[in-house]
Each structure stands twice: as C-alpha cells, then as structure tokens.
Amino acid sequence: MIDAGLSRLQTRQRLAAIGEDVDKLDAILVTHEHSDHVAGLLRIAVNKDGKIPVYMSHKTAPMIDWEGREPIVEKFQSGTRLHVGEFEIDSFTIPHDAVDPVGFCLRAQGIQVGIITDLGYVPDSVKMHARGSDLLVFESNHNLEMLKVGPYPWPLKQRIMGRNGHLSNDAAGTFIIEDLDSRVSNLILGHLSEHNNHPELVRQMAEQSLGLRSHSARLTVAEPGKLLDPCFY
C-alpha cells in the first residue's frame, strides 16, 4: 500500500471493497510525512496480528510520531531501488515542501506503475522516472483561478502555487501534452483539492490534452472521498 492517510476503519472498508484485508498487507510505502499521507499509519502498521513493515526514507522516518509503538521500519536513501515481495521499486525525489518527499515506480511481471503526486513542478528527473509506466497516477491538484479566489489565506495559496507546492490542472495538462509516455495505457489523475478544483474541470483538461497528441490512454479522475469504480481493478 502507498501511504496511509485515512483512518484504519476507512482503510479497512476501502480495501474490503476490492477484496483485500488491511491486516494482510505485506508492506506500506510512505512518500512523505504530511498528515494526509500518514494519519492512519501507526494504527494500520501496528495491529493485533503484529507489525506490517513500513518503508520510508532516512530523513522522513524521524518525522513520524510512533507514540512508543514503532512498527518495523525499513529506511532507504531517496533515489535507491527497493525490493519488496515480487516488486522492484524505484524511489525518486520530488519537489514538495516536506523533509524528503519521494515518488515511486513499481515493477512486477513486466508491468510498471508510477505514483507521482505532491509536487510543485515536474523536473526532468521526474519525467525520466515516469517513462515506461503502463499505469500512471499523477497529480492535478487545483484550478488556478479557483485557488486564487478561494477561501485559503494568501500564504497558503502561495505555498500551493510555489515550486514546492502542488501541480495545477494547467501544469498537469502540459505534462500530458509534452511528456506523457505513449506506453501509458491507464492514466489516473488524483490528489484533487476539494476546495480549489472540480473533477469535471480535470476531466475536460485531460481529454483535451490527450486529444491534442492522439493518445488513447484510459483516463480516470480520482474524485476526493470516492472509491474508483470497482470495475477498474
């Protein structure tokens, strides 16, 4: 599982919807320490059946409050390759305002899945790691105009718009047009802001961007608070 930002109960319910058991996870990979990515980590990783290994970078690990019940923590240097079960996993640095944020590309049985969210812009290194993905989860966090006129205080707006913040719909569209690998057969756009974006805006942007380059990737917009269609799995 990548990150654990939901409560144990919510995670259990969502995994059950796709036929999985939260207590039988083999490992949890953590991208960074922000609460929406680790709020449920302790109670998921340490359960009545024991401890689930948690993989996180050397710099991220000290940022987690384990409340005296630390699970099995496997620390790695950002940029290194991990082997977890049948998966070969590349970690790579992403530009975000956390201590040591990373993205992941997972490979098994000839399939590559890229997980790239929580970044303020898309550097060449991230574009390189995204190449070769069959399924790509990518950020389309906010509509710039909605953010500018929305309820957030100005310092928070500046943080979101900054180079260590989050990707706008426009930035995601530019990536799709200029850098999305032709191998990507499934594109999932996620990490949408509940206050500064709308799923239909993201869908329209992505469909137009894919159309401009005649890319036939299956498009899915991961709406905040909703499960993907079970048929997706």
CATH at 15? 3.60.15.10
At a CB cut-off of 8 Å and minimum separation 6, what does 139 contact?
A: 116, 117, 118, 119, 166, 167, 172, 189, 190, 191
- Global pTM reads 0.94
Of 14-18, 78-82, 142-146, the poorest mean pLDDT is in 14-18
Q: How many domains does the chain have?
A: 2
pLDDT of residue 233: 46
Percent of the residues in the chain that have a pLDDT greater than 90, as a whole number: 91
**Residue pLDDT, tens place only, 200-209:** 999 999 999 9
- What integer is the mean pLDDT of 167-172? 98
For the segment 24-52, the average pLDDT, to the nearest whole number, is 93
Mean pLDDT, the chain, rounded, equals 95
pLDDT of residue 50: 81
**231 inside domain:** no
In a domain, 173, yes or no: yes
Q: Residues 162, 62: one domain?
A: no
Contact 100, 85 (CB under 8 A): no
Q: Does 147 fall in a domain? A: yes
Structural domain of residue 37, as residue ranges?
1-77
Asked whether residue 48 carries a pLDDT value surpassing 90, the answer given is no
Same-domain status, 55 and 131: no
Task: Measure the CA–CA gap between 18 and 111, rounded to whole angstroms.
Answer: 20
